[in-house]
């Protein structure tokens, strides 16, 4: 199973988030609930017979303590895996905080970015280069009037990292985690993650030390995200993640927008399930 929440307008429910349960292997919705509060979910899961709950092998989720508590209590035989995207997002946020700190040191107060200090200009205009994966940066050259020359994105990144050693170190740690997340296996992940955490703690960078504390707290469940499971048709292996539910969340958002916003939760729930789960039976008559 995959668990996630989705924000909705207050006209639909009295809570800001609905709770979504998705079948990871079949990419279909199992249930949509009107709120994600722990007490409500406790009531819901407690009504499912234990023999059914014990059949769940894996649960994927983001780093939300209430979800973890519920998984431990009501699905004792399931392995919990934290979605890797949320871990990377935390590290990316830490890197971006460092970028802003360095950038603001060079802010001369100009109204236009082109009139500001060249380092402020680069760090503000090209922040997306710093936060992009290395392989996703193109080699295409372009002319920049502020810098008075032709550059590609790799050379811009090199200039950015030369501005401040703290930023350079933060980027190095960020890049190393991306590489670890992309290439490690379940068998090797524990040793590699512990080495990374040690370097995070020893970096002297407050933001990365805080991230390391968070990762340490969730380490068991982050490592579980490297587990590979058979696809439904058993033709290939899939890494545990919240990828399927994130895709479904995107479809849910489109359904909500196309409906100009729903005010009745149960009508919205039924519409979403019928639209996404292709095996839902359609009745042309009312059911008593």
153-182 confidence digits (pLDDT tens): 999 999 999 999 999 999 999 999 999 999
The predicted-structure confidence for 225-282, as pLDDT tens digits, reads as follows: 999 999 888 889 999 999 989 999 999 989 888 887 788 899 999 999 999 998 776 5
CA-based nearest residue to 192, from 179, 174, 211, 205: 179
Q: How far is CA 64 from CA 16, 24, 38, 80, 141, in A?
A: 16, 19, 11, 12, 43
Whole-number pLDDT of residue 222: 98
**Among positive and negative, which fits the CA dihedral 42, 44, 49, 53?**
negative
Using alpha carbons, select from 259, 216, 251, 288 the residue that is nearest to residue 28.
Answer: 251
The confidence score (pLDDT) of residue 100 equals 97
Q: What pLDDT shows up at residue 287?
A: 52
Q: Among the listed ranges 70-84, 120-134, 184-198, which one has the minimum average pLDDT value?
A: 120-134
Task: Give the pLDDT of residue 10.
Answer: 77
Burial class, 283, CB count within 10 angstroms (exposed 0-12 / middle 13-18 / buried 19+): exposed
For the stretch 129-142, what's the b/e string if a residue is b when 16 or more beta carbons lie within 10 angstroms of its beta carbon?
bbeeeeeebeeeee
**What does the angle CA 274 – CA 278 – CA 282 come to, to the nearest 5 degrees?**
55
**CA gap 27, 30 in Å, rounded:** 9
Average pLDDT over residues 97-115: 95
pLDDT beyond 70 at 194: yes
Q: From residue 286, how far is each of 16, 128, 231, 264, 282 by CA, in Å? A: 31, 53, 37, 19, 11
DSSP class of 78: P
Q: What is the pLDDT of residue 259?
A: 80
Q: Is the pLDDT of residue 84 over 90?
A: yes
* Per-residue pLDDT, 144: 93
Q: What integer pLDDT is reported at residue 101 of this predicted model?
A: 97
């Amino acid at each position: 199973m995959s668990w996630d929440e989705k924000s909705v307008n207050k006209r639909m429910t009295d809570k800001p988030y609905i709770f979504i349960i998705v079948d990871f292997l079949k990419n279909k919705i199992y249930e949509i609930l009107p709120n994600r509060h722990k007490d409500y979910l406790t009531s819901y899961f407690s009504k499912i017979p234990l023999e059914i709950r014990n059949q769940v092998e894996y649960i994927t989720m983001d780093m939300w303590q209430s979800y973890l508590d519920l998984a431990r209590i009501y699905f004792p035989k399931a392995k919990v895996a934290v979605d890797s995207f949320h871990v990377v997002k935390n590290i990316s946020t830490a890197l971006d905080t460092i970028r802003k700190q360095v950038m603001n040191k060079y802010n001369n107060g100009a109204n236009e970015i082109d009139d500001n200090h060249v380092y402020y200009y680069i760090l503000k205009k090209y922040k997306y280069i710093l936060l992009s994966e290395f392989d996703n940066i193109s080699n295409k050259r372009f002319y920049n009037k502020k810098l008075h020359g032709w550059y590609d994105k790799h050379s811009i990144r090199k200039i950015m990292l030369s501005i401040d050693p703290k930023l350079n170190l933060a980027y190095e740690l960020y890049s190393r985690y991306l590489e670890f997340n992309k290439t490690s296996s379940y068998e090797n992940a524990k040793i590699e993650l512990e080495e990374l955490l040690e370097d995070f703690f020893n970096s002297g960078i407050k933001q990365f030390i805080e991230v390391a504390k968070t990762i340490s707290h969730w380490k068991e469940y982050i490592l579980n995200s490297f587990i590979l499971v058979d696809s439904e048709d058993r033709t290939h292996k899939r890494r545990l993640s919240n990828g399927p539910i994130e895709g479904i969340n995107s479809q849910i958002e489109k359904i909500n927008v196309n409906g100009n916003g729903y005010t009745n939760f149960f009508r919205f729930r039924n519409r979403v399930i019928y639209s996404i789960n292709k095996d839902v039976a359609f009745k042309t008559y009312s059911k008593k």
